[in-house]
Amino acid sequence: MIPPTAEERPTLPPLPRRSVLAAAGIATGAALVATDPVSPDPADAAATTGAGAYFQHGVASGDPLPTSVVIWTRVTPSPDATPGSGRGPAVRVGYQVATDARFTSIVARGHVDTSASADHTVKIDVTGLAPARWYWFRFRHDYRWSPVGRTRTAPARTATPERIRFGVVSCANLQAGWFHAYRHLAARDDLDAILHLGDYLYEYAPGEYGLGQDNVDVRAHVPAREIVTLADYRQRHAQYKQDPDLQALHARYPFIVTWDDHEHTNDAHRHGAENHQPSTEGSWPVRRSRAHRAYDEWMPVRLNGTAALGDGARLYRTLQFGRLAQISMLDLRTYRSEQVAYPVVAPGVNDPDRTITGSTQMAWLKDALSSSAAQWKLVGNPVMISPVTFAQLPTDLVDPVNDVTGLLPRDGAPYNVDQWDGYTDDRRELFAHLRDQGIRDTVFVTGDIHSGWACELPHDAGTYPLSPSAGVELVASSVTSNNLKDILGAPPRTASLAVEAVLRLANRHIRYIDFDSHGYSVLDVTPARVQMDWYVTGPRDQRGAGTTHTASFQTLAGTNKLSRAAGPVGGR
């Protein structure tokens, strides 16, 4: 144990009057300290008073390794130091990491300087920790403690854990509703980490993309415009980080994240985006670098292999959980070719010069899969890799399906060109590598498409199931972003059933689809199998909505196939 210094003892001066005034109405941080089971020692109550003024955006952790983990917070050192303002003094923020919630056994401490140039964010890669262990962490500024966070390191690389369990989320649009999925995951006590597979935030202005057919804003975005500047992106990250359910989940578990498009703007690619207009919004590389910088500042993630703040762009990386599982997190926006034009989708989708991963990331992924010592090769995949052929649908269903899933020609076609279906040569190369190297037990864990799916991955969809499977894909539904029933304005499990039936009939490798539900998933990994449980949350515009388990699918070791599981694992 590292003994406390004189500065860290709880004999503290009062909070300055201007900070007390600034704290009025800002109760999120204080509420977390008062209610979370990992709160600090009551003896530190005086040190926690007023913490909401300084630590309005909570605490977070991420990218757990066997002996290190990233911890994060944002400090508001003065009332004018609001996110994206470029104002406020340079300050020094202390931190502590302990093996217990009362911080009687501190194993790491230190301080870091931050200022307006980093939007007053703090991100530290804490090293020298023990594998597969829970830790508690907190920050300190001006004699006040932040809320307490809890995190967990990964197992040692040679360990053989009995199981690893992840919460899985994607597509959380604040304007479309409350983040029930985060609240229910935070109530569990049986997870190791959270996989967030993209669209952590959305770029739209108020009224542009909200709840249901009419895009009603349950909560309006800040700033009240589409985000383009660095200040805009910082403010939007700050707004999301003030959501109490997201704060609670960040304080409860480490996150393993990747971005999709809306952390930048809709349908982003290497040279631009559908929702970027150079004539009015300036240079695409400049806008993207702003989005990357704000993401680096505001997320508990290692960009370019380090937690040091900067303009890092390399997000793809591998994390290992002993010999049981390896996770390869992909970036499928930064390096991809522009999507093919609609409605002329062929032969561009098959062009070997077009890519979704980029050549460097593809080589890295193939090497990670073939050299892994782990039994299960998990791939954090922002957009679906399963081939999906859309047969003819009724005309009145085509446009709603397009809004959820992508670009669907009215006469039916086997392409959603914003996902791997639009870059089939990359998919063929990757599946061939899995086959030629004899790699089994590969599971793609995916977000993006606002619906739940369980699919096998055929080498030849036309002859499946007579031909082999390269692995399986498990797709989490959206936290809040609109799905098919929302766009149709239909009751759940009515009009969508016809679409699901057509898809299942035309794609024999698809084992499960749910176009109607919002919620989260739980991924349970054991030596015998990987199982995904899907949970549905209640109405997005009702603050206290509940959750219900709806489906469970598993892939048994060595099979590359899917089957229904008997029921959900762990907690509710």
Domain assignment of residue 73, yes or no: yes
pLDDT in the model for residue 391: 53
Is 241 part of a structural domain of the chain?
yes
For residue 220, being part of any structural domain is answered with no
Residue that terminates a domain, selected from 113, 130, 153 = 153
Q: How much is the pLDDT for 205?
A: 98
For residue 161, is it within any domain?
no
224-283 per-position pLDDT tens digit: 999 999 999 999 999 999 999 999 999 999 999 999 999 999 999 999 999 999 999 999
Is 97 inside any structural domain? yes
Per-residue pLDDT of 346-387, as tens digits, reads: 668 888 999 999 999 999 999 999 999 999 999 999 999 999
Q: Which of 110, 137, 153 is the last residue of a domain?
A: 153
CATH code of residue 315 = 3.60.21.70
Structural domain range at position 360? 230-564
Whole-number Å distance between alpha carbons of 209 and 487: 11
Q: Are residues 254 and 123 in the same domain?
A: no
Let me know whether 143 and 291 are in one domain: no
Q: Which two tokens stand for residue 396?
A: 């009145």
Domain closes at, from 91, 118, 153 = 153
CATH code of the domain in which 64 resides: 2.60.40.380
Pairing of strands 106-114, 91-98: antiparallel
User: Is position 118 within any domain?
Assistant: yes
Through-space distance between the first and last CA atoms of the chain, rounded to whole angstroms:
36
Residue 279 and residue 412 in one domain: yes
Total structural domains within the chain:
2
Q: For residue 182, is it within any domain?
A: no
pLDDT of residue 462: 81
Regarding whether 239 and 94 lie in a shared domain, the answer is no
The answer to whether residue 338 is domain-embedded is yes
Residue 347 burial (C-beta neighbours within 10 Å; 0-12, 13-18, 19+): exposed
Structure tokens at 141: 């500024």
Judged by phi (left if over 0) then psi (alpha if -120 to 50, else beta), residue 86 lies in left
- Please report, for residues 132, 365, 417, the alpha-carbon distance to residue 254 in angstroms, rounded to integers and kept in the order given: 13, 23, 33
- The four Cα atoms 369, 372, 375, 380 give a dihedral, to 10 degrees, of -50
> β-pairing, 442-446 with 376-381?
parallel
Q: Check if the beta carbon of residue 330 is closer than 8 Å to that of residue 382.
A: yes
Do 473 and 362 sit in the same domain of this protein?
Answer: yes
Do 149 and 236 lie in a common domain? no
Q: Are residues 123 and 244 in the same domain?
A: no
Asked if 119 and 83 count as a contact pair (C-beta separation under 8 A), the reply is yes
Residues 127 and 235 in one domain: no
Instruction: Give the list of residues 6+ apart from residue 302 with CB closer than 8 angstroms, or none.
Output: 63, 70, 125, 317
Can you give the pLDDT of all 572 residues of the chain as single tens digits?
444 444 343 322 333 322 322 222 222 232 223 233 333 443 444 444 456 799 999 999 999 999 999 999 999 999 999 999 999 999 999 999 999 999 999 999 999 999 999 999 999 999 999 999 999 999 999 999 999 999 999 999 999 999 999 999 999 999 999 999 999 999 999 999 999 999 999 999 999 999 999 999 999 999 999 999 999 999 999 999 999 999 999 999 999 999 999 999 999 999 999 999 999 999 999 999 999 999 999 999 999 999 988 777 899 999 999 999 999 999 999 999 999 986 566 668 888 999 999 999 999 999 999 999 999 999 999 999 999 976 545 445 555 665 655 444 333 354 578 999 999 999 999 999 999 999 999 999 999 999 999 999 999 988 899 999 999 999 999 999 999 999 989 998 998 998 899 889 889 999 999 999 999 999 999 999 999 999 999 999 999 999 999 999 999 999 999 999 999 998 65
Whether 243 and 125 share a structural domain:
no
| φ, ψ at 429 (rounded to 5°) | -60, -45
Same domain (yes/no): 132, 259: no
